[in-house]
Structure 1
Amino acid sequence: MSRHHGPIVVLIVIALVGGLIYVAEKTKAPAMVPSEPLPGAILIAQQKNKMPFSESLKSAMPKAQAAKSASVFDMPQILIDQVVQRLSERRNDWAAFEKQTRAQVASLSYNDLMALAGKALDTEMAVRERDVAVYLLSLAGMPAHNALFEVVKTPVGNKAHVRGKSLQQSDDDSVKMRALVALDQLAVLNPNQLYKTMNLIRKSKASSSIKSSAMASLVGISKGSPGKLVVNLNQTVASAEAQ
C-alpha cells in the first residue's frame, strides 16, 4: 500500500466502525432503567383500590359472597383455627402471638374480611369461633369497617333446632356486641365515619342493648372521646386462656 493511500484507508475504516456503532445504538432495545413511581400515581392507585365505607343498613353479604376468591385455601378459617388452637394451649405469650396474627390479618383481602363477618354470623359455628372471627376483624383496623358493620346490622336466622332460642340469642348478642366494640375502637381513627355508622346502628333492628351501646359510642364521639365502650375486645378473647 502506498504512503498516500494509508490515511485514506484509515479514514474509511473509522467511518465504517462509526456507522456500525450508530446503527447498533438505533436498533437496540431501550435500556430498562428502574424508576420510582410518581407519588401522584401511587395515590391514584390507592384510591382506585379503596373500598368505600358502607353507609346502608342493607346487607352487602350476598354481593361479597358472590365475589369469593378462587383460592383453594380458606384463609379466614385457617386464622380462626390458629387462634382457637393458641387459646387451648394456655401459654403466656399472647402479645407476641397477637402481633404475628395482626400481620397475617393485614394481608387479607376485602372478601376475606367479609368472609370472617359471615363466619361470625354463622349460628352453626361454635360461639368461640364466632368470637374469634370478630377478634380477627378487630385486628384489621379500618379495612374491616364494612365487615364489622355487617356483623352488627345483619339479622341472624332462627336456628332453634341447633340450640335453645334464648341461648342462641345470648350468643348472637355477645358476638354483635364484640363487633360493636371493635367499631367503637375505630372511631379513634375516623370519628366522622363512625358517627354515621353508630347512628345507623341506633336506627336499625338491633337489640336494645346494642342500640344503647351505639348511643353511648355516639356520645363519646360527639364529646371528642371516641373508643370508650368498656369491653376490651382483645383482652376478652385472650382471657379464654384462663378458663
Structure 2
Amino acid sequence: MNLTKKFILPLGLALLVGGGIHFKQTAISMAPTAAMHKPRKAGVTPKEALFERTVIRPLADKTEKSKTRLQKLMSQETATLYSVNIDWKSREAELISAARQLKKDELIQLGDIVLNRTGRSDEKTVASYLLAMAGEPARPVLRKVAISPIETKSDGDPHSVLAMKRAEEVNLRASAIAAIDELSRKNPQASLQDLAAIRRAQSDPSLQHMVMISLIGIEQGRPGKLNRWLEQVAGNGEAQ
C-alpha cells in the first residue's frame, strides 16, 4: 500500500503552494524591519566564537539528545518531506518498520498532532503517514482521526486559505479511512464497525464515498476495495 502516492504527496503539493504564500507574506512583513538595521560586518569576534563554542553548540547538542524517539523520527521526516533526492520506495520500507515499533502512547501522540488545528501542516502530514503505516495497534487512533469533525467551513472560494485548510482536514481523515480499509484485509469485522461509526460522524461527500466503497468491499467478501480503487484512480483506471 503506497499511501504516499494516494494522499501524502497530493496534500504535500497543496501545502507547498500554501507555504509559498505564507513565505511571501512573511518576507514582505519583515522588509521594513530589515531596512531599519545596517548590515552586520562580516566575520565573528573572538567573544562571539567563544560563546558559540561554549554555550550555543553544547545547548543544541543537549536538546538533540533529549529528544524522544518519536520526536527524532518526526524531525527527520518533516525535514525531508518534499525532498526529490530520496529513494522513496526503499524509504517507505524503513518507515513501515519504524512505525510498527511505535508504542501506544506514541501512536496517541501522533493522533494529537494530526488533530491539532494550530499545528504545522508538514508535521500533520508525517504523523498521518506514520499512523497509516503502524498497522493494527494504530486502529483506535485512526478511528478517532477519521470520525473527528471537520471544523473549517468552506467560504465558496476554492482557492482561498480557508479552502486549503479544509482540504487539509479532509485529506488527513481520508488517509485514516484508507488505513482502516487496509486493516480490513485481516480484520474485516473491526473495520466494519469503524467504518459504520465514520459514516455516522462525517457528512463530507468525498469521505462518505470512500467509506461506502470500503463497506461494499467488506460486504462482498473482498476487503481492501477502497485501496484497490484508489490505486486504479491514481493509474487512471476504472474502479472495480
List per-residue Cα deviations over 1:94-145 (Å, max 9, x = no partner). 2222222222222211111011111111222333321221111111111110
| CA pair 141-203 structure 1, distance change in 2 beyond 3 A | same
SS at match of 2:230: coil
Letter in 2 for 1:195: L
Quote the sequence identity (%).
28
* Alignment-derived partner of residue 84 in structure 2: 90
Q: How many residues align?
A: 160
Separation in structure 1 between the aligned mates of residue 217 and residue 162 of structure 2, nearest angstrom = 33
Per the alignment, do residues 147 and 91 of structure 1 end up closer, same or farther by CA in structure 2, a change over 3 Å counting? same
Question: Is 2:138 aligned against 1:144?
Answer: yes
1:206 to partner: Cα distance: 4.3
1:190, 1:112 → 2: CA distance? 23
Give the secondary structure class of the aligned counterpart of 1:231.
helix
- Residue 157 to residue 126, structure 1, CA distance change in 2 (3 Å): same
1:16-55 residue pairs with structure 2 within 5 A?
Answer: none
- Under a length normalisation based on structure 2, what TM-score does the superposition of the two structures give? 0.59
Q: Which moved more, 1:102-111 or 1:205-214?
A: 205-214
1:190 is the counterpart of 2:214:
no
Secondary structure of the structure 2 residue equivalent to 1:89: coil
Deviation, 1:166, is 2.6
User: 1 or 2, which has the higher helix percentage?
Assistant: 2
Opposite residue 173 of structure 1, the aligned amino acid is V
Runs of 4 or more above 4 Å deviation: 156-160
Is 1:199 the counterpart of 2:193? The answer is no
CA RMSD in angstroms, aligned pairs only: 2.4
Distance 1:92 1:121 in 2: 28
User: 1 CA distance for matches of 2:152 and 2:80?
Assistant: 31
Q: Name the residue aligned to 1:112.
A: 106
Which position in structure 1 is the counterpart of 2:163?
Answer: 166
Q: Which runs of 5+ in 1 are unaligned?
A: 1-71, 236-243
Sort the Cα spacing of 1:74 and 1:121 in 2 relative to 1 into closer, same or farther, 3 A.
Answer: farther
Q: Is 1:179 aligned with 2:146?
A: no
> Which piece of structure 1 moves more, 186-195 or 79-88?
79-88
Q: Deviations over 1:139-186 (max 9, x none)?
A: 1111110111111112255599xx833322111011111111111111
2:195 and 2:215 in contact (8 A); partners too: yes
8 Å CA contact 1:80–1:129 kept in 2: the answer is yes
* Distance (Å, rounded) in 1 between the aligned partners of 2:96 and 2:122: 19
Is this contact kept in 2: 1:184–1:194, CA < 8 A? yes
- Report the counterpart of residue 130 of structure 1 in structure 2: 124
Structure whose CA Rg is larger: 1
Question: Hey, what's the Cα distance between the residues in 1 that align with 2:220 and 2:212?
Answer: 12
Cα distance between partner residues in 1 of 2:139 and 2:80: 26
Secondary structure, counterpart of 2:225 in structure 1: coil
